[in-house]
Amino acid sequence: MAQVARVDEHLAEIQRAATRIHGHVRRTPLLRSDIAAGLMVKPESLQVTGSFKARGAFNAVLSLVEREPGIAGVVTHSSGNHGQALAYAARAAGLPATIVVPEGVTPAKIAGIRSFGGKVVTDGVTYDNREEIAEAIAISEGLRLIHPYDDWDVIHGAGTSGLEISEDSRPGAVVVPIGGGGQISGIALALAVLSPETSLIGVEPAAADDAARSLRTGILQTLPSDPKTLAEGVKSKSVGLRNFEVIVGDGLVRDIVTVSEDELEDAVRVAWTRLKLAIEPTAALALAAYLNGRVPSGSEEHPTVLILSGGNFDPATVAALLSS
């Protein structure tokens, strides 16, 4: 009973998040695909700032302003999408935002952060030290740190896509890219109550399989420094502690599967040429798992839903994939 009550409380927070961010984010569609009758896709690439991250960023910023009016600003670390989303949400709330980004991140994502008014810090930043640098800036400049995934407000905001899925369909499975685990945790908390028969499945690159190992062992696993994968959006060192609690502790994610780099590249080509959706490689993880038989095929009545998490791609990278 304690776990049921806890999940119900999280659902209430996700519903409050949906009300809070309404008008700031888009309700993305659930689309049928001609790839298979039992397949649907939810293109968060059509979301404001080009990724699902806008949901959590707006909920976190607006919640923070409600609790602490007059704060000096916000800071985060990001591989690009959360940084863009937080800069955009902070600007809407009239706050400055500082985004700590590892050197070598897709230039388009850095340009996006700056276009939304964010201050970008990259000098000396790596995937290993970005969190520590962001924490140091928060202390030295009196800013509030908004973690990209290990934050309940971010998780509850991300979960609003789960509300939309439950209203639009009765899926047999929902398949979600997983890095830090914020998106899949939020969706899992929503669907655990609203669609308990739905299986939640995460997807990672084989080169960045910490979440799969964490689920399998029941112990939080970490990644080596900067794993080599095209899916830069899921190169978090580990799943967040709150996310681990939902995914492993509460058992709300049925499985986490992996795909190879070749499979991921092929899925990008399929998304662009057959789905006609301009997505980034990270967003093709769920499609790669589907195309290679690692997740259920679904039915028209109970489809498999793939979350296409973002569309902030590097044009040169995608052009090379499409021409190969």
Residues annotated as part of the active site: 53, 79
> What residues are paired with 307 via a beta bridge?
42
Q: Which helix (H) or strand (E) holds 308?
A: strand 304-308
Q: For residue 109, with 0-12 CB atoms within 10 Å meaning exposed, 13-18 middle and 19 or more buried, which class applies?
A: buried
Which DSSP symbol is given to 248? Answer: I
Report residue 150 CA to chain centroid gap: 12
- Contact between 148 and 182 under an 8 Å Cβ cutoff? The reply is yes
Of 235, 79, 81, 86, the closest CA to residue 153 belongs to 86
Of 172, 168, 200, 171, the closest CA to residue 187 belongs to 200
The first and second tokens of residue 121, run together, are 């810090």
* Pairwise CA distance, residues 64 & 191, whole Å: 26
